[in-house]
Structure 1
């Protein structure tokens, strides 16, 4: 079987505000169209990604801001963080988990600063879009075997 992630649907309250936010971050605008039935689809793609985000009007019944934990990976977390901040995102400080394992629930194990060994999969930062949809930035320099 060969499957690839293509799209993540984000629930937003204001499609134009979301579009401006993501374009400000440098995401590529792939589509922005409406249908006669009142459906609006906006598709943006993070730089270097094969998968995209879509949002709009009458696209999902999910509550704005209810999508959490979308991981965006980068080989240079400090540079990516700075670029996202320059683009308008309120990005957290860089952090790592005290036991080297990412914990989905809460922030109890977070330690300020990057992983001291600078291991792949071990340093993070995070930000929310204007609706509260949550993203995690994860530094990956060397991918584990079998991961493209």
Structure 2
């Protein structure tokens, strides 16, 4: 049996602000659909990812900003740091650990993300 993780709900307060932020990060806007008065569904996918995020109105009951340590993986953490910084995303410095190198950022609601290069830079 295959089990594939394909969609993660992200709790946000301002749908358009969140969409603009994730586009700046580099996510592709797959869907932005007003389903009804009570539901607006926005789906965005990081480049090269099989898993997307979704946010909007009526999507999740989680508190905005409550996601902690969502993680994406890149092949070159230095390039990711440069590119995110150039796009105006406030990122941490590069954190080297024995299991990989990381930069961190948060969306406007405080949902926290880690960007990981799975091999340490210093190996």
Common fold by TM > 0.5: yes
Larger Rg: 1
Shift of 1:45: 0.4
CA offset digits 1:69-114 (Å, max 9, x no partner)? 11110010010111112222111000124xx3xxxxxxxxxxxxxx
Q: How many aligned residue pairs are there?
A: 120
In the other structure, the counterpart of 1:23 is 23
In the other structure, the counterpart of 1:96 is 96
Query: Runs in 1 of length 4+ with deviation above 2 angstroms?
Result: none
RMSD: 1.5
Distance 1:36 1:123 in 2: 43
In the other structure, the counterpart of 1:79 is 79
TM-score w.r.t. the length of structure 1 is: 0.76
In the other structure, the counterpart of 1:131 is 109
Distance 1:86 1:31 in 2: 26
TM-score w.r.t. the length of structure 2 is: 0.91
**Bigger proportion of residues as strand:** 2
- Runs of 5+ unmatched residues, structure 2: none
